Structure 1
Amino acid sequence: MISSSVVFRTRSWTVLLLGLLTTASPAAFAAECPGHPGALGTSRTLVVDPHEHPRIGTMQYRETLPLKDHEVVLTFDDGPLPKNSNQVLQILADECIKATFFIIGEQAKANPEGVRKLVAAGHTVGTHSMNHPLTFDRMPLDKAEVQINGGIEWTSAAMTDPSKLAPFFRIPGLMRAEGVENLLISRGIQVWSADFPADDWRHISSDRVYQLAIQRLEAKGKGILLLHDIQARTVAALPKIIRDLKARGYRIVHVVPTTADQPATPTTAVEWLLHPPTETTPIARWPSVPNFVFAQAQTLPAPGLADLNTQTAHQPQALPRKTMAQADVAATLPAPGRDLFAIPEGSVEVLLSTTLSRRAATRLAMAAEAPHAGKGKAAKMQARRTAHAAHAAPKRAAQAKSTAPRPTRVATRVKKRA
């Protein structure tokens, strides 16, 4: 019978071994890189089907490669140019890193040996047009097709085995156009953009290229890095980029297309998003309403009284024809005469409705007061009340328009006459 101490030691060693395997650094994947024990290496190979996911790279498209956190795909454009491209190839070989290269047809025509070196080193080779025009977004489709075909023909011609050419294409300058993309997709070619660049085509220092690559990768957490193997600044920045990738725990992924003998890596649709939504993240858009296909389309009959569970014995009797005719006749009121709306010219109502109503009302009050000047105090008081009433109405209307008081001249004149 095995003692408890032996069982305890066995379990301890098992736990320790599992801990070492799960916490191994990316350098552990470089065990297959002879002579370079500290190499970054290539952590895994991702097999993609261009027909299932025809557009990738979040700089322009919704989907990108189904990478895990801290996984990076290195891509290089515009080569091969012997001096700089050979140095990039050697740096990658020293680190046992596999990358994806997008070849220009003119470069392959001038340097076919450089294309064969890439294939021999195990890198993925796609195409990047014939001579890199930056007008794909406005170029006629027939001319774009000539550019696409030229790059494919000269790159495949430079290879010992043309079947090694991957059906991957990156539009020069990322000048995308829907017609060009549809043409490529119809031919089974996957359109590549990127998730972040290092701006190494600009006139900046190699240190700046290194900084941009790391900063943008850290902001994304994973993705496709766009570089150019023809640039001397890229050659100088690449060792520092690889050093930081290693220090920060990033892993390199090699991407290859499907073949008859190599099916696509199993993935889910959500993995092709750079940052898949979680259950705690609210969805901003409702799912689209599905299009239903109805097997039959017919008009239903109108419901009858029997369908409403009604009893015909209690239905109201129809009105007699005479009553219905009388109900349709509307009561007619006599038309009003024209005298109903007539207002005598010069009356107080007309004068009060005009802007000069105060003066007219004052003259009217004075005229009414003159014949009765000698009839005593009662006549004077009546005249004053009439003038005051005529004066108050327009004054109240003026106060509604402006709070500032206006000088009154009517009362003064009336008082003097009195």
Structure 2
Amino acid sequence: MPKFLILFGNTTLLSKLEFEATYPNCSLEQLDEHLFMFESEATLASEMIEVLGGTVKLFEVIKELDSDIKDTTLVEEIVALLLSQSEEPYFTFTQIGKGQHSISNADIKDLIKENGKKARYFSSNPSESALLSHKSKATELLAFNQIEDGKLLLAQIRGVQDIDDWTNRDRSKPYADRKKGMLPPKVARMMVNIALGLWQQKNTAKPLLYDPFCGTGTVLLEAGMRKLDVYGSDIDQQAVFGTRDNLEWFKKEYEINISSKVFYMDASHINPEEFTSKIDLLVTEPFLGKQTPKDIELANVFKGLEKMYLGSFKSFSNVLNNGAIVAIVFPRVQTDKRIYSLDSLIDKLKAKGYNLLVDPVIYAREGARVARQICLFSFDRQI
């Protein structure tokens, strides 16, 4: 079976959790901080880059060479591979991990020229190479030296995250509210995928997803990309109107036919009559408090947030199916003196039927005062 290398984004733990929930039959082997290896049928691997939110690039292992291979021999192997695929290669070569060889793109180009062929190369800068590999016929080769196994893995790009498409959904939708702490689309997709994957491991029917703090509809749009029918609600009437507009735009833009309903609702007083059936997946980011709270305010802020979250969880139980999966963001703030979080709420929730499935995963943008703590629960109805 073919071997693949997968390069995860900055929050490796969340990306790994997403992969394992979505593809439970693929076993990951960690090679480096963000790089993992797995075996898979090629058809399954080809869809991964479209499905996963936390995966940047996907490579297929083309050759396994000796880890102590000479630089000149490695260049010859790379050139032979490139020329077997193109008369005029457009490429970049990158290395990850320890034991890297002293090889540059210029060295590879020079040998191609010696073979009487033309070649161009582009920057191995992650963002630039991702963009070029996706948009053009450019190819990227990756080498990882498994020194302990005596192997050097030479892999070729097979998929790159479509930066333009993610940007389109994030910035082209008609309604946005930049003043609120908006959930990044890739994080929303990861949360949807994790919840969906965990649910599918025990169920075969198509699940129904609900976001009770829908905001601008980011979670609902990413669920729509997975062809899920969705419900959304918000206590802000403008958010309700805006999310409806965004969903209509989304359905036309992507030609995706899903059922959706968005309505005004306080998450702590959810009316079951708004739903045609119980909910299987609840994926949401509630209000996390001020984006830049002062230290002196934090104790009261988190006291108020705990009350709001607890009230919402009590209300969720009125519409959740037994065995439903909840993926929810908790706020977390670290000061010089202490950490403020809602960890104490987790034990209280267990008594109400919400069982924590894995340790919370922290997602924090650089410079952000409030970090996101992503929590996953299964709901078991209390008799």
User: How would you bin the TM-score normalised by the shorter chain?
Assistant: under 0.3
Structure 1 length normalisation: TM-score?
A: 0.23
Structure with the largest fraction of strand: 2
Structure 2 length normalisation: TM-score?
A: 0.24
RCO higher in 1 or 2 (8 Å CA, sep ≥ 6)? 1
